[in-house]
């Protein structure tokens, strides 16, 4: 099976390509490299002995996409490409809506031109906003998002769902990721944020490796066991396996399929720092700071639906997430 992977050079896309190749699925990568490096392709090749087809270009360029589709017998698309920094989305809403919403619409048009009717979309737990209860099921309310990034994900979900209502021979899969962290166990692929990391795990890793002095812990007065924010961190290799499961189980069946991809476990900021100290043997100096605007107290996934319908369940624990992140960061202190 050949699958077009938009954003396949990025953090989650690159790990997913590795797991696809291991499962005998051929990725065809499209990426404009706005947030990734060509070196990723060499790393994928070194790990798998396969150099996937790669097209450098933008998903908003329909003629470019038409050309890629014309060169391969593509059965499905996994759509990772997009911008993902919450804070930046507040400062640059036009760029975020253009890339994430318009880009997805152009991709859908190119898919329709080519007669490819199966898409797996990278959505986010951010569509649930501040949940009224946990664990969050796929039926929990969506749409109360607090920033342009979150709204762009909710808009694309809405567009895809409207599209499915009109064209029911399509297979549309919405995967709502919780908090992806970790790295390939080889230590050769991982997350490589440009500039200061926005997210907890890469920030901790850069403090551990000496690139940054101190971690700011955003709030210790949440109604959680230790007062710091609780999230459902999921190892990127488990997330990658979740995509392979989706390709096998639902991407060839018409329908609108929605799944949470999380572990079902909550971990606080302080617990994650402790896990990282244990895994790395490094000190992680931190200071308690005010809450970050827009943050919620806690969120974790109900994993029942993915387990039942995809036959997929995350298996790697927080210890493994910290160990693999450290392996990657200590081997690649400056990233790729």
Q: Catalytic site residues?
A: 149
Of residues 54-73, those binding ligand UFG (CB under 6 A): none
Residues touching ligand NAD: how many (CB under 6 A)?
26
**Helix segments in the chain, DSSP class H:** 11-22, 39-48, 62-71, 86-91, 93-96, 103-114, 148-166, 200-208, 236-249, 269-280, 304-305, 318-331
Chosen residue from 80, 164, 170, 203 binding ligand NAD by CB under 6 A: 80
C-beta of 11 vs 328, nearer to ligand NAD? 11
C-beta of 54 vs 222, nearer to ligand UFG? 222
> What's the closest the beta carbon of residue 11 comes to ligand NAD, in angstroms?
4
When CB distances to ligand UFG are compared, the closest residue is 229
C-beta of 21 vs 83, nearer to ligand NAD? 83
C-beta of 25 vs 83, nearer to ligand UFG? 83
Distance CA 327, CA 2 (A): 31
The answer to whether 58 contacts ligand NAD (rule: CB under 6 A) is yes
Per CB under 6 A, the segment of 64-72, 79-87, 284-292, 301-309 that binds ligand NAD is 79-87
Distance CA 65, CA 303 (A): 34
Chosen residue from 27, 52, 103, 202 binding ligand NAD by CB under 6 A: 103
- How many CB atoms neighbour CB 47 within 10 A? 17
Distance CA 258, CA 137 (A): 10
> What's the closest the beta carbon of residue 312 comes to ligand UFG, in angstroms?
18
> Residue 177 class from Cβ within 10 Å (0-12 exposed, 13-18 middle, 19+ buried)?
buried
> Residue 308 class from Cβ within 10 Å (0-12 exposed, 13-18 middle, 19+ buried)?
exposed
- Dihedral angle of Cα 309, 314, 315, 316, to the nearest 10 degrees: 170
C-beta of 26 vs 157, nearer to ligand UFG? 157
Phi-psi region of 141 (alpha: psi -120 to 50; beta: other; left: phi over 0): beta
Distance CA 54, CA 9 (A): 9
> What's the closest the beta carbon of residue 58 comes to ligand UFG, in angstroms?
21
Per CB under 6 A, the segment of 52-60, 301-309, 310-318, 328-336 that binds ligand NAD is 52-60
Q: What angle do CA 43, 46, 48 make, to 5 degrees?
A: 105
Contact of 124 with 150, CB cutoff 8 Å: yes
Residues touching ligand UFG: how many (CB under 6 A)?
21
Of residues 93-132, those binding ligand UFG (CB under 6 A): 124-126
Half-sphere exposure of 242 (CA within 13 A, CB side): 33
Chosen residue from 3, 4, 5, 11 binding ligand NAD by CB under 6 A: 11
- 54 membership: H or E segment, kind and range: strand 53-56
* Nearest Cα to Cα of residue 198 among 184, 188, 187, 212: 212
Per CB under 6 A, the segment of 11-19, 64-72, 219-227, 274-282 that binds ligand NAD is 11-19
- Per-residue contact string for residues 197-226; x = within reach of ligand UFG by CB under 6 A: -xxx--x-----------xxxx--------
Chain residues binding ligand UFG by CB under 6 A are 84, 86, 124-126, 177-179, 198-200, 203, 215-218, 229, 231, 269, 292, 295
Chain residues binding ligand NAD by CB under 6 A are 7, 9-13, 31-36, 58-60, 80-84, 99, 103, 122, 124, 177, 180
């Amino acid at each position: 099976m050949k699958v077009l992977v938009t954003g396949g050079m990025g953090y989650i896309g690159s790990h997913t390509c590795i797991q696809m190749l291991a499962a005998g699925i051929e990725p065809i990568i499209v990426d404009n490299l706005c947030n990734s490096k060509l070196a990723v392709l060499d790393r994928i090749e070194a790990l798998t002995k396969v150099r996937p087809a790669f097209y450098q270009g933008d998903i908003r360029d329909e003629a470019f996409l038409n050309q890629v589709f014309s060169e391969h017998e593509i059965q499905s698309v996994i759509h990772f490409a997009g911008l993902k920094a919450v804070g930046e989305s507040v400062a640059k809403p036009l760029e975020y809506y253009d890339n994430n919403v318009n880009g997805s619409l152009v991709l859908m048009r190119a898919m329709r031109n080519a007669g490819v009717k199966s898409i797996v979309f990278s959505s986010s737990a951010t569509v649930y906003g501040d949940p009224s209860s946990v664990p969050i099921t796929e039926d929990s309310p969506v749409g109360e998002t607090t920033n342009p990034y979150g709204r762009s994900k909710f808009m694309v979900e809405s567009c895809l769902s409207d599209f499915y209502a009109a064209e029911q021979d399509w297979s549309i899969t919405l995967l709502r990721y919780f908090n992806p962290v970790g790295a390939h166990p080889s230590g050769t692929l991982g997350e490589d944020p440009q500039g200061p990391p926005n997210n907890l795990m890469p920030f901790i890793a850069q403090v551990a490796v000496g690139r940054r002095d101190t971690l700011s812990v955003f709030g210790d007065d949440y109604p959680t066991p230790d007062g710091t924010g609780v999230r459902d961190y999921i190892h990127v290799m488990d997330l990658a396996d979740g995509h392979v499961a989706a390709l096998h189980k639902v991407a060839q069946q018409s329908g609108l399929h929605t799944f949470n991809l999380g572990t079902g476990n909550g971990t606080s900021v302080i617990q994650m720092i402790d896990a990282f100290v244990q895994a790395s043997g490094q000190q992680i100096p931190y200071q308690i700071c005010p809450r970050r605007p827009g943050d919620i107290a806690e969120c974790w996934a109900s994993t029942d639906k993915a387990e039942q319908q995809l036959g997929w369940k995350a298996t790697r624990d927080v210890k493994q997430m910290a160990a693999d992140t450290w392996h990657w960061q200590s081997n690649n202190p400056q990233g790729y």
